[in-house]
Amino acid sequence: MEEAAEIALTVNGETVSARVEARRHLVDFLRLDLGLTGSRLGCEHGVCGACTVRVDGAIVRGCLMLAVQADGADVWTIEGLSDAGEIAGLQDAFVARNALQCGYCTPGMLLTAAEMLKAGRRMTRPEIREFLSGNFCRCTGYHAIVDAIEAVMAERFRD
Amino acid sequence: MTDRPEAAGRPLPRGSARRLAAGRGRYADDLRFPGLLHLAFVRSPHAHARIVKIDPAPALAAVPAAKVFTGADIAAVCTPWQGKMDHLPTLVSPPQHAVAVDRAVWQGEPVAAVAAASRALAEDAAAAVAVEWEPLPAAAVRDRTLDADAAPAHPELGGNLAYAAAIRAGDPEAALAGSAHVVEACFSFARHTGVPLEPRTVIADYDPGEGRLTVHGSHQAPWHQQDTLSRHLGIPEHLVRVVTPDIGGGFGIKLHIYGEEIAVSAVSRILGRPVKYTADRLESFISDIQARDQRVEARMGVDADGAIRGLSVDALSSFGAFASYGRAPVNEGMMTISMAGGPYANGHYEGRLRIAFQNKPPSGMYRAVGQPIACAVTEQLLDRAAHAAGIDPVEMRRRNYWAEDAFPLRTPGGIAMDRLSLRQCLDRLVAMMGYDALRAEQAALRRSGVYRGIGVATFLEMTAIGAERYGPAGARISTQDGATVRLEPSGRVRCVTSVIEIGQGTLSALAQIVADRLGVAPEDVGVVGGDTALAPYGGGAWASRGLTIGGEAAWRAAEGLRANILELAGSILQADPAGLDLAGGAVCDRATGETRITLAEIGRIGHFRQDTLPPGVQPELAVTRHYAPDDVPFALANGVQGSSLEVDAETGGVRLLGHWVVEDCGRIVNPLLVEEQIRGGVVQGIGGALFEECRYDEHGQLLNGSLADYLVPMAAELPDIHVGHVETPLRGTALGAKGAGEAGTVGAPAAVLLAVNDALRPLGAQVSSLPITPEAVLNAIAAAA
Ligand code: FES
Ligand code: FES
């Protein structure tokens, strides 16, 4: 007995309507139904942050939100933010600093970093680390990620 | 000749980084296959149980289109395997089926596979399969598995001892008896696992028409996979192709043969359709290989002046339910007893090892295999001996390192050492971390009740292991890698390699190496790998071998192509190739640097205008070379790590303040990549030191099978990690690179353990079990009070 519902939402600035199973979470919907595979699954229980997406202006864990809950929402993923150029500075810094290895955590990290920039000020390294503490990276040891974000903040928020 | 700096040695960003940062990585789970079925597994809820009956009827009632395969169904098309090593005939491990037949031997072992149109439906059906069990007593407490009354993990083996070994040099008993100070400790290293963020994923597509099997998977050793699939499914090897797309981390977890992954191919073979399995995180915790899990009793004796006189190490190691297949399953234990004491001059040594089965997931190779244990045991005893002898720990190390003129040598543990840079690394580290200032600060803070600790640990990293170690075991693992380097008609260069990229950046480093040999820019070299049908045969990504072996192969292939290009240019220009060179994307005059003909022109003529060449000239614009380490069994890297931390005596919490590493991985091709390998490795080592443990109860039930309960290091708990280098090129290779991938993980647990105990020393407390939990710290303080 598959319960399904009609939803309509905006994904990366485009209107989408679909019929989705009630149990399908937002990232499965993005990945399987829309082919937006940049949002990744690392745990599906809300710990690793690989599934981080932006919903109505704030980052959420896409694995903890059902697709039906996104009805009417404005959803942005790594693909949309990349194309729009909004996170280009962060991406440049991540690349230059080699702040990614396997890259599996990177979309989630970048969305979280973009959220950090919204504060509009330079953060200390401990503050950056604290903000990142919901995003698991098994490869880098975080140091380079902190460096990259710090560099973007230093560039953007000169006092 | 050319004023462009060599690419090798420069911290160039990786070519693939921009793609991955745009979310355009293509990992196995992202791939699409028409007609795909999804596989889910029914798993044993017991650590040890007989399978009385499997009834698929309820599953078919829930999902009528589902297909259920028992162990026997899979065994009909897939033979079982056995974790043996030919040169160790006493090593026993029973046959292992892809899906258990008759008996399950760990909680989580697959006992049936269920295929359906979606993952969700396959899981619905798997949950409905009815299995009748007869639970059996389980061997689930490591330190009791060898007791006479312990339950057997495999009743047919007549005991839990899987393997025993001993190493002996000199007269350790007499040496210890004659020592001015003898220190001893019993260490425990918890069972933990690798937790790559991308779970294991495999898609198998068997085409009955051609009898061809194509597998896409997140795997570090696709050739090993190809060999296993061919032999156990009875498909001729040239019809098996394994492709690795982007891989979301491996760390050793993904180089093993897993029942589920082989079952995916078996089911595809039975159904003639593409079949996929992706582990979820909960499944990863009960089915990924697990590692460490050792108890080590060790003693060290030193003279009054601190010189080591003798060392004794007795290790009890665990395999889980099976010895891992086709690799070197004894290595977690063997590395412990062969690497212990390694950096230090000593002639009297005894190492004993026993390996026992338990009803837990199979153990296998996880980043740094056994070496973190050898390092922590050695370094902790050395610190205690330094304290007993009243010598500063740094000075203690300086006094005990092998003398510079002792190299080359073979340690009592049997490790061949060419030359190391122990003292240089130590001196650099002491300066980098400001050791004296940290000591002064520590003393000052101690007066105000703050417990700071400093740990300095020397490590060795065995990298790029050669055939001398795997060959005699009969492991069908190539320790060789290969590369084909080709000049394209446009003058750009392509390199196809057997090296597997799992995030280290090896492919970018290969581009740098090839670019230098051919006088082009690294961005003009395209490197691809990850396809057993197209790339030269090789090993893949394990044992920190990518650059040392794969890099050397690429260097040699590029060198071969360079000679061919110069020869062809000689024919075209009617010039002596010896007077020509490659630079700036062109063939130039060796003496004057003047451009004679561009590589694009060479490519155009060589590929399209052979008619214009002198008779008998056949352009060869692609060259394949292989390399396996020949004169040394492995490349030994070395270094020193330092940790500064603070222990809260009220809460038992450990706050890391700083971590430093000076390492020598030979010639560095790309410092940006090396440093991040080191940092990532350090953090995995810190995980093992402070957080990570697969916790089982005495019945073999996993107590923390989620990422919420199994603690991994997150950004906020970690310090900045400062990395410095010493470069002692590896002899016998053109490139001179040693591996660097595991160095961080080898030394970090020791540095942290030493620092914690340094902080606890004024309280009279010491810990010797990893992970060092707040509870363990408080218990140690309470016991000392
Ligand atoms: S997949 Fe959502 S938090 Fe891990
Ligand atoms: S780069 Fe691999 S998990 Fe972060």
Q: What is the pLDDT of residue B666?
A: 93
Mean pLDDT for all residues in chain B:
95
Q: What is the pLDDT of residue B328?
A: 81
Q: How far apart are CA B262 and CA B727, in angstroms?
A: 42
Give me ligand 1 centre to Cα B118, in Å. Answer: 20
What's the gap in Å between the CA of B501 and the closest CA on chain A? 8
Ligand 2 pocket member A141 (CB < 6 A): no
Q: A87-156 — its CATH code?
A: 1.10.150.120
Among A150-159, B279-288, B523-532, which stretch is predicted with the lowest mean pLDDT?
A150-159
Q: How far apart are CA B485 and CA B496, in angstroms?
A: 7
Pairing of strands B481-487, B493-497: antiparallel
Q: Which two tokens stand for residue A155?
A: 């560039």
For B205-239, what is each residue's pLDDT tens digit? Answer: 999 999 999 999 999 999 999 999 999 999 999 99
Q: Is A59 exposed, middle or buried, given 0-12, 13-18 or 19+ CB atoms closer than 10 A?
A: buried
- Closest Cα in chain B to A31: B30
Distances in whole angstroms, Cα of residue B569 to Cα of each of B11, B486, B592:
33, 16, 16
Q: What is the pLDDT of residue B548?
A: 87
Residue of B197, B641, B679 to mutate for A, most A C-beta atoms under 10 A: B197
User: What architecture is domain B418-478+629-785?
Assistant: 2-Layer Sandwich (3.30)
Q: Is the pLDDT of residue B544 over 90?
A: no
If you average pLDDT over residues B400-421, what whole number do you get?
94
Q: What is the pLDDT of residue B1?
A: 34
Give me ligand 1 centre to Cα A123, in Å. Answer: 25
For B191-205, what is each residue's pLDDT tens digit? Answer: 999 999 999 999 999
Of A24, A48, A139, the CB nearest to B680: A139
Contact A141 B679 (CB under 8 A): yes
Q: What is the pLDDT of residue B137?
A: 98
Q: What is the pLDDT of residue B783?
A: 96
Contact B23 A146 (CB under 8 A): no
Exposure of A101 in the CB half-sphere (CA atoms within 13 A): 32
Q: How far apart are CA B743 and CA B662, in angstroms?
A: 10
- Closest Cα in chain A to B500: A102
Q: What percent of chain B has pLDDT over 70?
A: 99
Return the domain boundaries, chain B.
Answer: 17-24+480-627, 35-136+198-248+253-287, 138-189+289-387, 418-478+629-785
Give me ligand 2 centre to Cα A106, in Å. Answer: 7
Return the domain boundaries, chain A.
Answer: 4-81, 87-156
Where residue B272 falls (left for φ over 0; alpha for ψ -120 to 50; beta otherwise) is left
Residue nearest to ligand 2 atom 4, measured at CA? A137
Size of interface A-B (CB pairs under 8 A): 174
Residue nearest to ligand 2 atom 3, measured at CA? A137
Ligand 2 pocket member A139 (CB < 6 A): yes
The overall pTM is greater than 0.90: yes
Q: How far apart are CA B265 and CA B713, in angstroms?
A: 35
| Ligand 2 atom at minimum distance from B248 CA | 2
Q: Is the pLDDT of residue B6 over 90?
A: no
Greatest alpha-carbon pair distance for chain B in Å reads 91
- On whether any CB of chain B is under 8 Å from the CB of A96, the answer is yes
Q: What is the pLDDT of residue B630?
A: 81
Q: What is the pLDDT of residue A159?
A: 65
Residue of B246, B714, B720, B723 to mutate for A, most A C-beta atoms under 10 A: B714
Pairing of strands B493-497, B525-529: parallel
- Which ligand has the shortest distance to the CA of A64? 1
Place of tokens 């492709």: B243
Q: Do domains B17-24+480-627 and B418-478+629-785 have the same CATH topology?
A: yes
Exposure of B496 in the CB half-sphere (CA atoms within 13 A): 15
Q: Between vectors from CA B253 to CA B252 and to CA B255, what angle results, nearest 5°?
A: 65
Among B267-276, B526-535, B538-547, B751-760, which stretch is predicted with the lowest mean pLDDT?
B538-547
Q: Are A8 and A68 in contact (CB under 8 A)?
A: no
Q: Are B313 and B298 in contact (CB under 8 A)?
A: yes
| Fold for the domain defined by A4-81 | Ubiquitin-like (UB roll) (3.10.20)
Q: Is the pLDDT of residue B168 over 50?
A: yes
Please tell me whether residue B672 adopts helix, strand or coil conformation.
helix
Q: What is the pLDDT along chain A (159 residues), one digit of tens a residue?
A: 468 999 999 999 999 999 999 999 999 999 999 999 999 999 999 999 999 999 999 999 999 999 999 999 999 999 999 999 999 999 999 999 999 999 999 999 999 999 999 999 999 999 999 999 999 999 999 999 999 999 999 999 986
Ligand 2 pocket member A138 (CB < 6 A): yes
Residues of chain B positioned with their CB less than 8 A from the CB of A78: 22-23
Exposure of B221 in the CB half-sphere (CA atoms within 13 A): 28
- On whether any CB of chain B is under 8 Å from the CB of A127, the answer is no
Give me ligand 2 centre to Cα A140, in Å. Answer: 6
Of B16, B30, B721, the CB nearest to A37: B30
If you average pLDDT over residues B709-736, what whole number do you get?
95
Q: What is the pLDDT of residue B2?
A: 38
| Ligand 2 atom at minimum distance from B196 CA | 3
Residue nearest to ligand 1 atom 3, measured at CA? A46
Residues of chain A positioned with their CB less than 8 A from the CB of B252: none
Give me ligand 2 centre to Cα B197, in Å. Answer: 7
For B579-632, what is each residue's pLDDT tens digit? Answer: 999 999 999 999 999 999 999 999 999 999 999 999 999 999 999 999 998 877
For B320-335, what is each residue's pLDDT tens digit? Answer: 999 989 888 899 999 9
Of A42, A95, A134, the CB nearest to B17: A95
Identify the DSSP state of B455. E
Q: What is the pLDDT of residue B535?
A: 96
Q: Per-residue DSSP letters for B342-400?
A: TTB--S-EEEEEEEEE-SSSPB---TTTTHHHHHHHHHHHHHHHHHHHT--HHHHHHHH
Q: Is the pLDDT of residue B651 over 90?
A: yes
**Helices and strands, counts by H and E, chain B:** 20, 29
Of A48, A103, A136, the CB nearest to B20: A103
Residue of A64, A98, A145 to mutate for B, most B C-beta atoms under 10 A: A98
Pairing of strands B308-320, B349-357: parallel
What's the gap in Å between the CA of B749 and the closest CA on chain A? 14
User: What architecture is domain B35-136+198-248+253-287?
Assistant: Alpha-Beta Complex (3.90)
For B126-140, what is each residue's pLDDT tens digit? Answer: 999 999 999 999 999
Q: What is the pLDDT of residue B5?
A: 61
Of A41, A78, A144, the CB nearest to B679: A144
Residues of chain A positioned with their CB less than 8 A from the CB of B18: 91, 95
Of B196, B503, B715, the CB nearest to A103: B503
- On whether any CB of chain B is under 8 Å from the CB of A125, the answer is yes
Mutate to test the pocket of ligand 1, among A37, A51, A77 (most ligand atoms within 8 A of CB): A51
Q: Are B260 and B300 in contact (CB under 8 A)?
A: no
Give me ligand 2 centre to Cα B584, in Å. Answer: 36
Q: Tell whether domain B17-24+480-627 is in CATH 3.40.50.300.
A: no
For B350-402, what is each residue's pLDDT tens digit? Answer: 999 999 999 999 999 999 999 999 999 999 999 999 999 999 999 999 999 99
| Fold for the domain defined by B138-189+289-387 | Aldehyde Oxidoreductase; domain 4 (3.30.365)
For B428-465, what is each residue's pLDDT tens digit? Answer: 999 999 999 999 999 999 999 999 999 999 999 998 88
For B572-587, what is each residue's pLDDT tens digit? Answer: 999 999 999 999 999 9
Residues of chain A positioned with their CB less than 8 A from the CB of B14: 95, 98
Q: How far apart are CA B746 and CA B368, in angstroms?
A: 6
- Closest Cα in chain B to A147: B720
- On whether any CB of chain B is under 8 Å from the CB of A51, the answer is no
